[in-house]
Structure 1
Amino acid sequence: MNYTKPFKMKEFEVAHDQCAMRVNTDGCLLGALAASNAAVKDVTRVLDIGTGSGVIALQLAQRFTNAFVDAIEIHGPSAKQAMDNFRNSPYHSRMVCYHQPIQEFEMNTYYDIIVSNPPYFEEGPTKSDHGVAAARHALTLDFKSLVMSVSGLLKPNGSFWAILPCDRKDRFLDAALDEGLFLNEVINIKPKEKRDANRCIFGLSKSNTGDAKHRTITIYSDDQSYTSETHEVLSPFYDSL
């Protein structure tokens, strides 16, 4: 992928050359699946925590035409570029990006959908590029702080969607349960059919629905093309599908 050029979607473009984390398939799958699995029919408020380039927030603004979308990003250049992407989109009047940590975010509203592609390296060395390190390493946001904020901002019938490496599942879900967030759905993401899932998308809410639903999506076929299931999920958004 050429990061110096905007990533073209069906209804908008995403510049990401200044962002700590670039547009990637994992994030776009999160946005698409959160958009298609909302528990609330009339979505009016959406929050994206750690928006990066803003691509997930833009997907949700495309899907929910009456929704106001707030986004939070702690990395300065990413926050600026996300706001520029919002301004250049067809949904600019409904979108705002806040350059601040979620722990300091104060809004007198509650959200139907909250999404996050959170930091996931809670241990180990950081990278020399602090922006990438902050995006991928839990320098600024641990799971407890994340789910505590989500619990306080989510509507009683709202849903929270997050994507993480599968080996962080137990730690994340334990933290969520401590804050009254229950697992409703797990979507395992496999890069290819013969490989294990390396990412998991979690759908949580304040309602304990019993046993969570489980399913698996395989991204690529053996010839490196998208599988039919990935095509189906991403086709409302990807210009090339």
Structure 2
Amino acid sequence: MAELYKRLKCQQNFVVAYCPWINGSVERANRDILQVLRTMILEYHIAHQDWMYLVSLIQANMNHSPVASSASRVPLEVCTGLPRPSSAYALYLPGQESRNMSITSTSIESALAQLRMSIEGMHRAVTDKREKITLLKQRKSRNAEEINFSVGDYVLRSRVDERRHNKLLVTWIGPYVITRAESHSFRVRHLVTGSEQDVHAYWLKFYADNALDVTDELLEHVAAQEIVLKVNKLVDYRCNAEIQCYELLVSWCGLESIENSW
């Protein structure tokens, strides 16, 4: 392989996606497994060299034990949908008849309980580490912002309008009040019309908390943001050489002629 890397002028790196052994978690779990094996060998009067035949019993007991992270259901039931089997197992040793085993000994149950706690702690540590790495990457991202809105807060909503040169202009309008919080979006209510809509958190900006005093001036400001005017007539037109486009002079219904706009 070294000669192949040299000829191809490349370098090989082994990347392990799931490696809990780097912090000693697997070593701690293995110590508990050894303790379970020693206890079972003493309880069942088995030779030490036959320890490998007990591994399947330990594995079966772990797969048939309720797990707190799975709503107190056994892994076998979650993965296959099969009902939970009994706690009676059969032990097969070379040169001997099968023996029915029932793990009811207090010492064995105690050792198995410690093993379950070690395995759950190992997986919990890996899950916490992954969540921390994900949050760290999000914070380092240029556009990532921490969502800190709650129900009752007042926020501004971005509205995208088309402008000249086919560019988009983002305008912040509002404020709106948050009525419901989802995982990635929020339901906001218009202060004047009372209409509600779901908006992604990316398009919201914090304005004030629930202690905001909604005055008449604020309501007038909100109402003026979304006024829709009706066209009365087209008064004139002109050619705009800068944008190479024609513009229309519009007369609006209900407004004076001095308020005509291009």
TM-score range for the pair, normalised by the shorter chain length: under 0.3
TM-score (norm: length of structure 1): 0.18
Q: Over alpha carbons, which structure has the higher Rg?
A: 2
- Compare relative contact order (CA 8 Å, sep 6+) and give the higher one, 1 or 2: 1
Between Structure 1 and Structure 2, which shows a larger proportion of helix residues?
2
